[in-house]
C-alpha cells in the first residue's frame, strides 16, 4: 500500500478538504435523525405548538441541503484528484517503459500491459475518488452519533450493534475470497486480452491458413473462462452477501425487545427509547455504506501490486554527467551481452567506428548484428564491457540525450495512427510543413503521399496498417532524415522496398547519412559494398573486418556470405 500512499500524500491537502467536506455532509445528514427523533418525542408528549414543528421541518430541510452541498463539493474535489492521479500513474508507467530494457518489455504480453495500463489503472478511480473521502466520512459520522447514543443509554446502544456484528461475520467470507480470487481473475482477464490481441494481429495468417476455427476457439475459451470464473465466484458470495445485508441493518430487532424490557423496569425513559430507535437507523445506514466498498478495498492491493511491479522493474542504467561529446566515434570494448542468463549472445566484442564513416554489420541470421545495433542505441545495457560515443560511456548519458544523437531505422518501424505529417514530425517537433515536404521529396515519399486521399494529412491507421511495408519504411526514413541526428543506424531499413524504388531510397539514404556516422545491417550485401568498413559477426564474435574487396580476399566467412547473396540474386 506504500504506492497508493505515495500518490495520496502528493495530494494530501486536496484530500483533506474532500474528507472534511464529506464528514460535514455525513454529520449534516445525521442531524436529520436527531431532529426527527425530537419531533416524534414531542408529538408523543402532546406538544401542539405548530411553529415548533415548522422550525424543525425547516432545520431538517436545511440539514439535507447542507449535506448535498458538502457531499457535492467533496465528490467534485475527490474526482478531480482521482483523475489527476490516474493521469500521473499512466504517465509514470509510460516513462518507466521508456527506461526499461527493450527485452523486458517484449517479454511481457501486450494483453497484460494493456490490461494494467488501461483497465487496472481505471479501476483505481473508485478507491481514489470514493473510498477515501466517503468511507472516512461514513465511519467518522456514525462514530460521533454512536458516542451520542452511548451518552443517552450505553446498554441499548451496544445491543443495537449485535446484528451489525453478526452481519460482519458473514461478510468476512467474501472479503477473504477477494484476496484469493481477484488476483486470479486479473490473470484470467489478461489471458483473454492476449487471445484477443493475438486473434486480431494474426487475422491475416488465420485467413491464409484457414485457422479461423482453431484461433477463434482459443479466444472464445478464454472469454468463457473469464465469464464462468466470475459466475462461480459471485455464486459463492451470494449467500453470504444476502445473509449479511439482511441481518446487519436490522438493529431494531434487538433494540425494541431490550428497550421495552428496560422501560418496563423503569431504567429507561420512553423518549430516550424512541430517540435511540431512530438514531440507530442513521448509524447503521452509514456503516452499511462502508460495507459496500468491500469489493473495492479487497482488490485495490492487487491492482496497485500490478502497477508497482512495472514501476519497480529494472531500468537501463543511465545517468547524465554532462560530459561533452567532442566527436561521434563509437567504441565497443570487451562487450558481453545475453538476453537470458547462461545464453551468451555477444562475446567479448571489440569494434571501433570512426566519426563520419559508413559501416556495415553482416553475418548469418541470429549472429547478433541487430543486437549490437540495439546495444549502441541504448535499448539494452551490456552485461560486461562498455560502449562509448566520443569517449563518453553511453551509460553516462541520459536516455533522452542518447536518443537525440542517434536515428534508428528498422525494418519494422512503427507508425502511429495519425497523419503522415505528424508521424514524420515526431523526428523533429519544431520542423515546419515545408521542411517535412522537402525531406519527403528526398526520401521518395512525396509522390505516393500526394496520391493519397488527403495527402500529408492522411491518417496511416493503427501501426501504419493503411500503408504498404515499403511506404511505411520510406516514411520512417523521412522521419530519421528530419531528426538530423549525427549517428544513423539502419537495421534492414530497405527490406520492404520494391526494386523499382530501391535506387531512389538508396539515394535518399546517401542524402541522409552525408557527413554522419553510419551503421548498416543488411542481408543484401550488394547494398553495402561501398561502405568504409564491414564487420563480420559470427555467433556474437567479431570474425573479421575490412572493406568489401579486402574481405573477399581474406575472410572465408564473408566470402561464403557473398557467394550465398549472389546465388539468391540469380534465383530472384
Over residues 429-438, the pLDDT tens digits come to 888 999 999 8
Over residues 436-491, the pLDDT tens digits come to 998 888 877 888 899 988 999 988 887 777 888 778 888 888 888 888 889 988 88
Residue 226 or 387, more confident: 387
Q: How many CA atoms lie within 13 A of 31 on its CB side?
A: 18
Over residues 62-104, the pLDDT tens digits come to 989 998 999 899 889 988 888 888 888 888 888 888 888 877 7
Q: What nine digits make up the cell of 471?
A: 511506404
CA distance 78 to 81: 5
At residue 387, the pLDDT reads 92
In the chain, list all ranges with CATH 1.20.1560.10: 2-161+251-311
CA distance 447 to 455: 9
pLDDT at residue 389 tops 80: yes
Would you say 524 and 330 are in contact if contact means Cβ atoms under 8 Å apart? Answer: no
At residue 148, the pLDDT reads 83
Mean pLDDT of 199-206: 64
Residue 242 or 391, more confident: 391
Helices (H) and strands (E) in the chain, counts: 24, 10
CA distance 372 to 521: 10
DSSP 246-306: HHTT-THHHHHHHHHHHHHTTSS-HHHHHHHHHHHHHHHHHHHHHHTTHHHHHHHHHHHHH
pLDDT at residue 156 tops 80: yes
Over residues 270-315, the pLDDT tens digits come to 888 888 887 777 777 767 666 666 666 667 777 887 888 888 888 8
At residue 353, the pLDDT reads 93
C-alpha to C-alpha distances, 485 to 154, 191, 356, 429, 434, nearest whole angstrom: 78, 41, 12, 14, 19
Q: Which residue has the cell 443495537?
A: 160
Question: Hey, how many other C-beta atoms are within 10 angstroms of the C-beta on 251?
Answer: 25
Q: What's the order of all strands across the beta sheet hosting 384-389?
A: 343-353, 330-340, 384-389, 392-393
pLDDT at residue 150 tops 60: yes
Mean pLDDT of 238-261: 75
At residue 126, the pLDDT reads 77
pLDDT at residue 207 tops 60: no
Range in 218-222, 315-319, 331-335 the model is least confident about: 218-222
At residue 534, the pLDDT reads 92
Residue 265 or 212, more confident: 265
pLDDT at residue 337 tops 80: yes
Would you say 30 and 141 are in contact if contact means Cβ atoms under 8 Å apart? Answer: yes
Q: What nine digits make up the cell of 127?
A: 478507491
At residue 267, the pLDDT reads 87
Q: Give the confidence band of 331 by pLDDT, cuts at 50, 70, 90.
A: very high
At residue 188, the pLDDT reads 79
**Could you tell me what percent of the chain has a pLDDT over 90?**
10
CA distance 144 to 134: 15
Would you say 464 and 414 are in contact if contact means Cβ atoms under 8 Å apart? Answer: yes
Second CATH level (architecture) for the domain 330-413+475-571: 3-Layer(aba) Sandwich (3.40)
Mean pLDDT of 128-141: 78
Mean pLDDT of the chain: 81
pTM of the predicted structure, to 2 decimals: 0.66
At residue 334, the pLDDT reads 93
* φ, ψ (nearest 5 deg) of residue 269: -75, 140
Taking domain 2-161+251-311, whether its CATH number is 1.20.1560.10 is answered by yes
Q: Give the confidence band of 318 by pLDDT, cuts at 50, 70, 90.
A: confident
At residue 421, the pLDDT reads 92
In the chain, list all ranges with CATH 3.40.50.300: 330-413+475-571
Q: Which helix (H) or strand (E) holds 347?
A: strand 343-353
Amino acid at each position: 500500500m506504500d504506492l497508493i500512499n505515495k500518490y495520496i500524500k502528493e495530494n494530501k491537502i486536496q484530500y483533506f478538504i474532500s474528507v472534511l467536506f464529506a464528514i460535514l455532509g455525513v454529520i449534516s445528514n445525521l442531524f436529520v435523525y436527531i431532529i426527527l427523533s425530537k419531533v416524534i418525542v414531542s408529538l408523543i408528549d402532546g406538544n401542539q405548538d405548530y411553529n415548533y414543528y415548522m422550525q424543525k421541518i425547516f432545520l431538517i430541510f436545511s440539514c439535507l441541503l447542507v449535506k448535498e452541498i458538502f457531499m457535492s463539493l467533496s465528490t467534485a474535489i475527490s474526482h478531480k484528484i482521482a483523475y489527476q492521479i490516474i493521469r500521473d500513474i499512466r504517465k509514470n508507467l509510460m516513462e518507466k517503459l521508456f527506461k526499461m530494457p527493450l527485452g523486458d518489455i517484449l517479454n511481457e504480453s501486450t494483453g497484460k500491459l494493456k490490461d494494467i495500463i488501461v483497465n487496472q489503472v481505471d479501476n483505481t478511480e473508485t478507491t481514489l475518488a470514493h473510498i477515501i473521502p466517503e468511507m472516512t466520512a461514513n465511519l467518522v459520522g456514525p462514530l460521533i452519533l454512536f458516542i451520542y447514543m452511548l451518552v443517552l443509554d450505553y446498554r441499548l446502544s451496544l445491543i443495537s450493534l449485535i446484528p451489525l456484528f453478526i452481519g460482519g461475520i458473514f461478510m468476512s467470507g467474501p472479503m477473504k475470497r477477494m484476496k484469493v480470487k481477484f488476483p486470479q481473475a486479473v490473470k484470467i482477464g489478461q489471458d483473454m486480452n492476449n487471445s484477443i490481441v493475438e486473434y486480431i494481429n494474426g487475422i491475416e495468417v488465420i485467413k491464409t491458413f484457414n485457422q479461423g476455427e482453431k484461433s477463434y476457439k482459443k479466444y472464445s475459451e478464454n472469454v468463457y473462462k473469464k465469464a464462468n470464473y466470475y459466475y462461480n465466484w459471485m455464486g459463492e458470495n451470494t449467500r453470504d452477501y444476502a445473509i449479511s445485508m439482511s441481518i446487519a441493518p436490522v438493529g431494531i430487532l434487538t433494540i425494541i425487545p431490550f428497550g421495552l424490557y428496560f422501560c418496563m423496569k423503569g431504567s429507561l425513559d420512553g423518549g430516550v427509547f424512541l430517540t435511540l430507535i431512530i438514531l440507530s437507523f442513521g448509524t447503521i445506514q452509514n456503516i452499511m455504506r462502508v460495507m459496500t466498498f468491500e469489493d473495492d478495498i479487497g482488490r485495490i492491493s492487487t491492482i496497485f501490486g500490478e502497477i508497482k511491479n512495472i514501476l519497480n522493474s529494472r531500468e537501463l542504467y543511465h545517468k547524465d554527467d554532462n560530459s561533452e561529446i567532442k566527436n561521434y566515434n563509437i567504441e565497443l570494448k570487451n562487450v558481453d551481452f545475453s538476453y537470458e542468463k547462461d545464453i551468451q549472445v555477444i562475446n567479448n566484442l571489440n569494434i571501433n567506428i570512426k566519426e563520419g564513416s559508413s559501416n556495415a554489420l553482416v553475418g548469418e541470421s541470429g549472429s547478433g548484428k541487430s543486437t549490437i545495433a540495439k546495444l549502441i542505441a541504448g535499448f539494452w545495457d551490456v552485461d560486461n564491457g562498455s560502449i562509448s560515443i566520443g569517449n563518453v560511456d553511453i551509460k553516462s548519458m541520459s536516455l533522452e540525450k542518447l536518443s537525440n544523437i542517434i536515428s534508428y531505422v528498422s525494418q519494422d518501424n512503427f507508425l502511429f495512427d495519425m497523419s503522415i505529417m505528424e508521424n514524420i514530425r515526431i523526428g523533429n517537433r519544431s520542423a515546419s510543413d515545408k521542411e517535412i515536404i522537402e525531406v519527403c521529396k528526398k526520401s521518395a515519399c512525396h509522390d505516393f503521399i500526394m496520391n493519397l486521399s488527403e495527402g500529408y494529412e492522411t491518417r496511416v491507421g493503427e501501426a501504419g496498417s493503411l500503408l504498404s511495408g515499403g511506404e511505411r519504411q520510406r516514411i520512417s526514413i523521412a522521419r530519421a532524415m528530419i531528426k538530423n541526428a549525427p549517428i544513423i543506424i539502419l537495421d534492414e531499413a530497405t527490406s520492404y522496398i520494391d526494386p523499382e524504388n530501391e535506387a531512389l531510397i538508396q539515394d535518399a539514404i546517401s542524402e541522409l547519412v552525408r557527413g554522419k556516422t553510419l551503421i548498416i545491417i543488411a542481408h543484401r550485401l550488394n547494398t553495402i559494398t561501398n561502405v568504409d568498413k564491414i564487420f563480420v559477426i559470427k555467433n556474437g564474435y567479431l570474425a573479421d573486418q575490412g572493406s568489401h574487396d579486402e574481405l573477399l580476399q581474406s575472410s572465408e566467412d564473408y566470402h561464403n556470405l557473398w557467394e550465398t547473396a549472389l546465388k539468391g540474386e540469380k534465383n530472384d
